[in-house]
Amino acid sequence: MENNFKKVHAIKDLIISGCIILAGAALFFVHKATGVCIFLCGILSLTLYKTGYKLNGEGILLQKKSMELNYNCRESLLDFINSKKIEPMLVQGNEGGTVLLEVWFNAPADIAYAQLSEYKELRFQPVTDIVKLSADQAQLLIQKI
C-alpha cells in the first residue's frame, strides 16, 4: 500500500479562520468595505489553510516536521529508519551536502512515519519510501525533533 499524506484542517485552522470570519462580520457594521474584505479573507483561509495531515485522507491527525541535516547523518538515519536499534545522529548544517528528514507524527498516539531525501540535481529526491516507525522509534525521534 502506498503512503499518501493528505493535508487536512486541524482544530487550530478552523478556530483561526472562524475568528477572521467573525471579525469580518463584526467590522461589516462599522465599515462595510473593510468588513467584506476581512470576511472574504476568512473564507479564503478556511479553504486554503490546512496544517494537519492524514494518511490517505483518513485516520488519525498527524503533524509534519522537516529537518535539513548534514550529509554525514545519512547512514545513521538510514539505519534508524530501517529498524536497526541505533540512536539517529541529527546534526544540522550543509557541509558536504544536505539530507532532508521528513517526519509525520502524532505524539500522544506514538505514531510516526519518516522519509529521508537527499539533495541531487537541484531538488530533494527520496532515498527511502515513507516508513512507519515502531513506537520506540517514534518516541525517540519525536523527542529529538
Q: In the chain, what are the domain boundaries?
A: 5-55, 63-144
Cα 16 from Cα 21, distance rounded (Å): 9
Per-residue pLDDT averaged across 37-50, rounded?
94
Q: What is the mean pLDDT of the chain?
A: 85
Cα 140 from Cα 18, distance rounded (Å): 36
pLDDT digits (tens, 9 = 90+) for 68-111: 888 887 888 888 888 776 777 777 766 667 888 888 888 888 88
**Rg of the chain over all Cα atoms, to the nearest angstrom:** 20
To which residue does cell 529508519 refer?
A: 81
